[in-house]
Structure 1
C-alpha cells in the first residue's frame, strides 16, 4: 500500500502520536518541504540520530529538490538504511527501535537503524566455569552474542538465519550453523519448528528449548545450554546448530547426546589421555552413585548372608 497524498501522511502521523505509544515526532522543514522523523527515544541512539540524520538534512542547501532517495543516497550518514513504501510496516519498524523518515510529498519513506539498547559488559561465565577456556560469556545483547561467534568462526559457509518469534515481543532468534557440515534435514526441521511457534512472547531461550524438543517429558533433553562463546563455536564446528535468542545470555545447542553432559569445559584443551581418563572417572562415578546405595540396602536388608562373618 503506497502513500501518495499529503493527507495520508498527516493522518497516519496524527494517529500514531495520539495512541500514547511513547513515540517521539521530530518535524523538520527543508526547502519548504515538511519532513517527519518518528522514533522511540528510549531505544534510539540520539547522537547518531542527531549527527548522522537530522544535522545533514538541515544543512542541505542545494538547488535539487529533496526526496527520500536523495536523503538515502546523498545526505544522511547512517550506514544501515533502506527505503520502503508499505504503510502497514511503519509502526513495526518504529517499535523495533528504528527511525522512520517521512516526506509529505513522497510515496516512499526511509528507515534508519539507529537502535541503542542498554546492555551490560561481557563478563566471566557463571555456569560453564573453565580453567583454560575463554572467559567471555554471552550477554543479553543479541548483536554482541553474534559478534562473539563471528569473531571465532570466519568461514564463508557460516550461516546465520534470523527469525522473529512471539506475536507481541517479536523477539529476534538466530539459527547458526555451517552449511557444509550441519545435517540439512536437521537444520530444516529446527527452522520449521521455530516457524510453528505460536506464543505471545519469548523472553528467554528456555521458551525456545521447550518448543523444539521432540518430547517435553523426555528424561534426557535433546537441547543443551551454552554460555561461553568458545563452546558455541565448538558445537557449530562439530556440525551442531546454535540458537541465539535476543535478551538471553544462554544460547542453545542441538542436537545434544547423553555423553556430552559428562564433558568438562577443559576437556578439549587438556592432554587427550588426561581428558579421556577424566571422562572415564566421571562415568564410573555416576555408576557408583546410582548403584552403590541400592546395592548396600539390598545386601543388608535382603541378603545379609553374603556378608563375611
Structure 2
C-alpha cells in the first residue's frame, strides 16, 4: 500500500506541512476498519526495484466477519494467492515458498495510538486515485529503524487506493496503486482458487524451538509476535522462525542448523526487502541466523548480530 508524484515531492511535503495527529489517527482507524468491513474488487499496479506488475484482487467480507481474498497476477504466468482471514491457504507453485511467511503475519487491527509512538501522523491534503477522491496520510518514522509510508485513502470507504514506501533519503522503495476499484461483494466464482494453486501450510511450533533463541537488541517499538518452524528446502531440517513487529512494519528471524555446510555471511536488498545472514557458533554447532523484512539494512544487520541462544544470552 504505497505512492505520490515523486519521492522529492513527498519528502518536501513531509518537511513543510504541520502534523495533524488527531485527524491522522482518525484516518488510520478508518483504514484499519475498512479492510475488515468492506467488500471490493479491482485492479492495481505494483512497483518494486524498477519492476512493475499488474494484479486483480477480489476481497469479500462475510456476514460473520470472515475475510476471503484472492489475488491474481495478470502479467506473465498467472500467479495467484488465496487468503482466508489473513492466512494463506494456497499459492501458485512459483509463489508457494515465497508467501508461506505471510502466514506468520496474521491480520491485525492497526492501533493508531500505538503507531503514533513510532510514526508521526501527518495529513497532507487530498488527491484522486482511480477516479475516486482520497485523503493523503503520511506516517513519518520517529527514528532510523523503519521506513516512511504515504497512504491515499478512499474518502468513501477508507480503503488504501495508493501508497508508497520511502527511505530516510526520500527514495521510493515500493509503490502500490489501484487503477480500478468496485465496491461490493465479488462474484463467488472469482473467489475460488484455480487447480494450479498449491496448498500452503506452516508446521506447528515446538516449545523447545520457540524458547531457544532471543535477541539482545530490538529496534524501539518492535516485539516478538509469532514463533513457528519450517522445513528448510535445502536441508530438510526444522527451521525456527520468529516474527517481530511494531504494529505496522514486520521482520522475520530464521535460525537454521548448518550441519557443517560451508555457508558464508551475506546481505542483500531488493526494493524495501532486506535479507541479512550471519553464521553463529553455538555449543550444539554452527547455525545461520537470517533476518528478512521491510526494514532498513542497518537495522536488520544489528538484529542479526544480536541473536543469541537463550542459554548463552542468560550467562
Q: What TM-score bracket applies, with the shorter chain setting the length? A: under 0.3
Give TM-score, length-normalised by structure 2.
0.21
**TM value normalised by structure 1:** 0.21
> Which has the larger Rg?
1
Between structures 1 and 2, the one with greater helix share: 1
Structure showing the higher strand proportion among its residues: 2
